[in-house]
Amino acid sequence: MKTPSPQESYRNTVFTLVPSLSFLCSSRFINSTLIGASSLFFMNATVKGDTPISALVTGYNTSGYVVYAETTPGELAVTPNSTMLLNALGGDSSHAGGNVELYTASDSATNVAFKDADHVLLELNMSGTMVTLSSLNGHDWFDTPGGNYDTTFGANNLANRWFNDFADELKNHTPLVIGNEQALFESYRDNGGFQRVSDPNVSYVEVNGQQILVGLGGFIDIHDQAVALIAAATGQPLAAVDPFVSNGIQSSEVVLINGVASYGFSATPSGVRLNDGVDSYNGNYEVTNVAVPEPSSAILLGLGSLSLLLRRKR
């Protein structure tokens, strides 16, 4: 993502996943999101967790990826050097540094192409804990629990859950959302909004105990994009909408962390920017998920469950 759009958005949500042995043996993505309270898994953010010791990008042949490196202090530039992956992921919440964008073809993808687009995976070895980050495609957004591909407003899928969170963020800054939710959703969907937030720019990854922390590069304020979205959905000119929308609207892209969608609505200054006229990646959104236990821990968990079941049968 290099240029702003009306559709860069999302809420500070912590997704929790309690993995089973069958999940650990499966490579399929989880299309449903499990939302938990951040207080349940809050870790001391001042303690530096494990960082990647190796990184590999896969699945990019048709969807693409790009590495942004901090070539001079505070300035980002595209680098063709794939060996810069770990360097680009070397930032933290105080200074994001470079980033790796997954699925660079998303902005130009039609709704048809987006439906079955390849996932671009960033596979990380976090000192023994494996973490996989991924871009999203249409199925991740629009598939329902019953397996239907439903792009309508109000469907039971990630697209509508995310949009409800996004609308709540907008309502904190403008009264123009109330009563226009369906029109906003449909305008966002029909104008490639979901594509534009499906290409996460990953700045850093840490594993701290059972918590995965991921920094996502984005805009620290999406006021102009929000004004454009509201104007398009309501048929009003930009000049008529702008006075009713306050500054400070924050919204990240979306990333799949071990198959679970994570996104946020609270940004801090990233300490870097892309010199593209709009200062892309000047905001850092830290999103979280729960780490999958190491295989030995999972086996012990399974044996403990089996022991409990046998005890109950006696």
**Domain of residue 117, residue span:** 14-313
The reply to whether 1 falls in a domain is: no
The reply to whether 63 falls in a domain is: yes
The reply to whether 7 falls in a domain is: no
The reply to whether 107 falls in a domain is: yes
The whole-number pLDDT of residue 39 equals: 32
- State how many domains the chain has: 1
The whole-number pLDDT of residue 47 equals: 59
The whole-number pLDDT of residue 301 equals: 38
Spatial distance between the Cα atoms of 128 and 241, rounded to a whole number of angstroms:
51
The reply to whether 2 falls in a domain is: no
The reply to whether 5 falls in a domain is: no
Spatial distance between the Cα atoms of 44 and 6, rounded to a whole number of angstroms:
34
The whole-number pLDDT of residue 82 equals: 72
The whole-number pLDDT of residue 46 equals: 47
Spatial distance between the Cα atoms of 149 and 142, rounded to a whole number of angstroms:
5
Beta carbons within 10 angstroms of residue 116's beta carbon: 9
The reply to whether 194 falls in a domain is: yes
The whole-number pLDDT of residue 304 equals: 43
The reply to whether 223 falls in a domain is: yes
Mean pLDDT by 10 residues, the chain (314 residues): 39 33 34 34 53 96 95 93 87 96 96 97 95 98 97 98 98 98 98 97 94 97 98 97 98 98 98 96 95 49 41 38
